[in-house]
Structure 1
Amino acid sequence: MENAVLVVAAAIVDDLATPGALLAARRSRPEHLVGRWEFPGGKVDAGETPEEALHREIREELGVRVELGREIVGPDAGSWIITDRHVMRLWYARVVDGQPAPLVEHDALRWLSSDDLWDVPWLDGDVRIVEDIQPDLAAGSDASASSAPQDETV
């Protein structure tokens, strides 16, 4: 996708080795996205690497520090086309400092297990990513059933 804006996001999970729960964020703006759920993240600024941008965005949006896991490589030249103007790179991540809170673009956060993933209306561009990572969550859900606040809205 030529001239696409690069955005980065985190699939924040309870455990990088055996993820059993995913943290989803509900949009509070702009108006056409209000109430839809997404992976937290944002645009890469000039002079930033995608990883630096992701760490900055997660601090700004959720008030936490994360450890990045593996990149979730997409089918669109390694990334994910999420809108007609945006392409996204996405990494698994785990919170290492702080308690996630909806600070900027969101009004709620929710830990979702593999069984709960479709209980929220995901942004259209994120649906195929959720489909892609659902098997990872299903595989880890038994191993980490008690390590994340399952189905809790923050």
Structure 2
Amino acid sequence: MTEKVLVADAAEPRKGGVNRKVVEVAVGILIQPGGQFLLTSRPPGKVYEGYWEFPGGKLEQGESVEQALRRELQEEIGITIGAVHAWKVEMVDYPHALVRLNFCKVFDWTGELQMHEGQSFAWQSLPVQVKPVLPGTVPVLEWFARERTLPAAGNAS
């Protein structure tokens, strides 16, 4: 079975050719009690600098998605997260990398947000006010919009 792939910037050449290795990424969707979610900007010097995304990062050798998410959120934004709720997975083919984004909802964390990589942050709700949004973030915003239109009983995802 072939995984559905979101192609970002399709006109751009791909680095690594057709047999690129998939980069596994853990992504944290921090959600406040009122429903607002955290977006952070891509740090200076990184690909897609200034684009807005959900925080997270690459899995290291032998790490689970949850372990990587705990480590990345501590390193990047200075918080310690509670329970991790695996949610959805999306493959994104960026010009610089083929990534599998493992999205996890997080409702509980401790610590004050500290942007350790010089990025910015914003608590958002739909429609988001920050721009531009990273292509891999767009599906999550669509999923949030769909959740809002479901009857309350179907909103358990």
TM-score for the superposition, normalised by structure 2: 0.72
Q: Are the counterparts in 2 of residues 101 and 109 from structure 1 also a CA contact under 8 Å?
A: no
- Asked which structure has the greater CA Rg, the reply is 2
Shift in alpha-carbon separation, 1:102–1:138, aligned structure 2, 3 A: farther
CA distance in 2, matches of 1:13, 1:59: 17
Q: Which runs of 4+ in 1 moved over 6 A?
A: none
Residues of 1 paired with 2:78 and 2:91: CA distance?
27
Structure 1: distance between partners of 2:146 and 2:46: 32
Could you tell me which residue of structure 1 aligns to residue 144 of structure 2?
A: 133
List aligned pairs for 1:10-89, cutoff 5 A: 10-15=28-33, 20-73=35-88, 79-84=89-94, 85-89=98-102
Identity of aligned pairs, percent?
Answer: 24
Residue type matched to 1:98 in 2?
A: G
| RMSD between aligned residues | 2.3
* Unaligned segments of structure 1, at least 5 residues: 74-78, 140-154
Unpaired runs of 5+ in structure 2?
A: 4-19, 151-157
- Aligned residues between the structures: 129
Counterparts of residues 92-107 of structure 1 (less than 5 Å): 92-104=105-117, 106-107=118-119
What's the secondary structure of 1:6's corresponding residue?
strand
- Could you say which structure has the higher helix fraction? 1
Structure 2 CA distance for aligned equivalents of residues 68 and 7 of structure 1: 18
